[in-house]
Amino acid sequence: MIKDSDLKKITTDVEGGLNQELKGVGTDTRQDLTNQLYVPLIGDHFNGHDFIEVAIAQGALAVFWQKDHPFPEHLTTKPVIYYVDDTLEALQQLAKVYRDKVDPKVIGITGSNGKTSTKDLVASVLKASFRTHVTKGNFNNHIGLPLTILNMPATTEILVLEMGMSAKGEIEVLSNLARPDIAVITNIGESHIEFLKTKMGISEAKLEILTGLTKGGVFVYDGDEPLLNKNYAVKTIRVGFEERHDYRIEAVVVTSDGTSFQLNHQTPFNIPLVGKHHAKNASYAVAIAHHLGVSDAAIQAGFDNMIKTGMRFEVTSKGPHQVINDAYNASPTSMCGLIDIVSDLETTKQKVLILGDMYELGEKTEDYHRMVGAYVTDKVDLLLTVGEAARHIKTNEQIKHHHFETRAALSTYLNQLSKPSLLAFKASRGMQLEKVIEQLTMNDLTNHGGL
């Protein structure tokens, strides 16, 4: 709950009087704003100030109002107006105020791949022992992160925040906003290499998460990544598959239902996620939970009740087929991870990889797509690619391969599959491969065309 006294730490230029606490903060007038603070943000193609009447109709009681925008004089109903120089900066400053007021233990998670799954795993194992608030969906940027902070209940004990980026300096802003007590880097991959040029540049950008780490804070990271193996001036916990790590992952078994693994020859764990890389993501959660005093039994109970974010390795059955929807985003590392999973899975079904374009790879776009193609093994029965860059995902002649220019053409082909198949989808967000899956769902995959 946000009080007038909290808002007046941001500005004392106020019109009206707030006589009750606000239950949250919103920026989208399409959503319910009842008893909330409305923050009108300004973008390249929109200006939230233009929607103040809608915000009032949606129930907003107060507003941050940028001083260089005249407030509409014709309004008969006005919220309490807090005048600020910049609404985005005011939103971020208020988030810092509220984070310090509630004072939860903050866990910040970043990485090229796996940060959303790790966030879900961490939240799942902690929520049974602590009042836990977590980033919803992909609210992981300079707007979404402060909104996540500002909408946590006042009784929150653990705040789990995902931190995304596309350029240097962005994680530093988020880290200084959140001031994490525990910082996590899941891995260093090729995502955003178009802007950061090298994996070293990506690792430097990810390591900005340490700039806001609180005194006595802990850094949990991928010990298998050479770019992260250095001396740090903070307490560290290394996680990985090598003997020297604080948490060594071993005895990994992957099935179509999930993954099991052990840490340091001790308690086995089972997670409802498929893939060796998810054993590492879950191991970050175990390390954090142990640091916070959570027992192995409680950790496993959390894994058993895990709630997954959509399009992160969602497994469903449709007609004679099994569908793996991992289409939220993609990089060469994560795409090769999916190839490993599909290759290693024991199934009687035909294994079909459906791969689309990977974005933000810059001048190496063609090379990275060719690399993915070379990584496909003969344990895959059929490779289907879609998009402009994905035409370079080529494999050896032993594997049947079709390329499609459009999602519509791909959907038509898939809807003719009659042989029971495992269909695994992955591409960058902009490819929107979930629309192909929706089309398959609509047809219930029951068409029989003899392919």
Please state which of the ranges 61-65, 371-375, 395-399 shows the lowest mean pLDDT: 395-399
Q: Are residues 189 and 262 in the same domain?
A: yes
Q: Are residues 300 and 356 in the same domain?
A: no
Q: Are residues 300 and 163 in the same domain?
A: yes
Identify whether 189 is part of a domain.
Answer: yes
The answer, yes or no, to whether residue 428 has pLDDT greater than 60, is yes
Q: Are residues 228 and 357 in the same domain?
A: no
Q: Are residues 171 and 294 in the same domain?
A: yes
* Domain membership of residue 53 as a residue range: 4-85
If DSSP states are collapsed to H, E and C, what string results for the chain? Answer: CECHHHHCCCCCCEECCCCCCECEEECCCCCCCCCEEECCCECCCCEHHHHHHHHHHCCCCEEEEECCCCCCCCCCCCCEEEEECCHHHHHHHHHHHHHHHHCCEEEEEECCCCHHHHHHHHHHHHCCCCCEEECCCCCCCCCHHHHHHHCCCCCCCEEEEECCCCCCCHHHHHHHHHCCCEEEECCCCCCCHHHHCCHHHHHHHHHHHHHHCCCCCEEEEECCCHHHCCCCCCEEEEEECCCCCCEEEEEEEECCCCEEEEECCCCEEEECCCCHHHHHHHHHHHHHHHHCCCCHHHHHHHHHCCCCCCCCCEEEEECCEEEEECCCCCCHHHHHHHHHHHHHCCCCCEEEEEEECCCCCHHHHHHHHHHHHHHCCCCCCEEEEECCHHHHCCCCCCCEEEEECCHHHHHHHHCCCCCCEEEEEECCHHHCCHHHHHHHHHHCCCCCCCC
Q: What is the CATH number of the domain that holds 8?
A: 3.40.1390.10
**Between residues 392 and 201, the one the model is more confident about:** 392
Which of 58, 85, 112 is the endpoint of a domain?
A: 85
For position 310, what pLDDT does the model report?
67
pLDDT digit string, tens, across residues 79-128: 999 999 999 999 999 999 999 999 999 999 999 888 999 999 999 999 99
196 band by pLDDT with thresholds 50, 70 and 90: low
Based on C-alpha coordinates, what's the Rg of the chain?
A: 24
Identify whether 233 is part of a domain.
Answer: yes
Residue 275's identity, in one-letter code, is G
Tokens of 393: 């995902």
pTM greater than 0.95: no
For position 446, what pLDDT does the model report?
45
Identify whether 93 is part of a domain.
Answer: no
pLDDT digit string, tens, across residues 348-366: 999 999 999 999 888 889 9
The answer, yes or no, to whether residue 441 has pLDDT greater than 60, is no
Q: Are residues 59 and 146 in the same domain?
A: no
Identify whether 450 is part of a domain.
Answer: no
For position 270, what pLDDT does the model report?
97
139 band by pLDDT with thresholds 50, 70 and 90: confident
Nearest Cα to Cα of residue 328 among 106, 32, 107, 119: 119
Q: Are residues 224 and 352 in the same domain?
A: no
For position 113, what pLDDT does the model report?
84
Residue with tokens 């996620």: 273
The answer, yes or no, to whether residue 298 has pLDDT greater than 50, is yes
pLDDT digit string, tens, across residues 73-82: 899 899 999 9
Q: Are residues 216 and 345 in the same domain?
A: no
pLDDT digit string, tens, across residues 20-71: 999 999 999 999 999 999 999 999 999 999 999 999 999 999 999 999 999 9
Q: Check if the beta carbon of residue 85 is closer than 8 Å to that of residue 160.
A: no
Binding site for ATP, residues?
111-117
Domain count, the chain: 3
Q: Are residues 274 and 364 in the same domain?
A: no
As a whole number, the mean pLDDT across the chain is 92
Q: Are residues 383 and 264 in the same domain?
A: no
Identify whether 293 is part of a domain.
Answer: yes
Identify whether 94 is part of a domain.
Answer: no
Please state which of the ranges 175-179, 382-386, 418-422 shows the lowest mean pLDDT: 418-422
Q: What is the CATH number of the domain that holds 388?
A: 3.90.190.20
Q: Are residues 343 and 416 in the same domain?
A: yes
Which of 247, 280, 304 is the endpoint of a domain?
A: 304
For position 274, what pLDDT does the model report?
87
Q: Is 35 exposed, middle or buried (0-12, 13-18, 19+ CB in 10 A)?
A: middle
Q: What is the CATH number of the domain that holds 150?
A: 3.40.1190.10
For position 449, what pLDDT does the model report?
40
448 band by pLDDT with thresholds 50, 70 and 90: very low
% of the chain at pLDDT higher than 70: 95
Q: Are residues 15 and 76 in the same domain?
A: yes
Nearest Cα to Cα of residue 33 among 5, 57, 1: 57
**What phi-psi label fits residue 297: left (phi over 0), alpha (psi between -120 and 50 degrees) or beta?**
alpha
293: CB partners within 8 A, 6+ apart:
none
pLDDT digit string, tens, across residues 327-341: 888 889 889 989 998
Which of 304, 335, 352 is the endpoint of a domain?
A: 304
Binding site, residues?
111-117
The answer, yes or no, to whether residue 445 has pLDDT greater than 50, is no
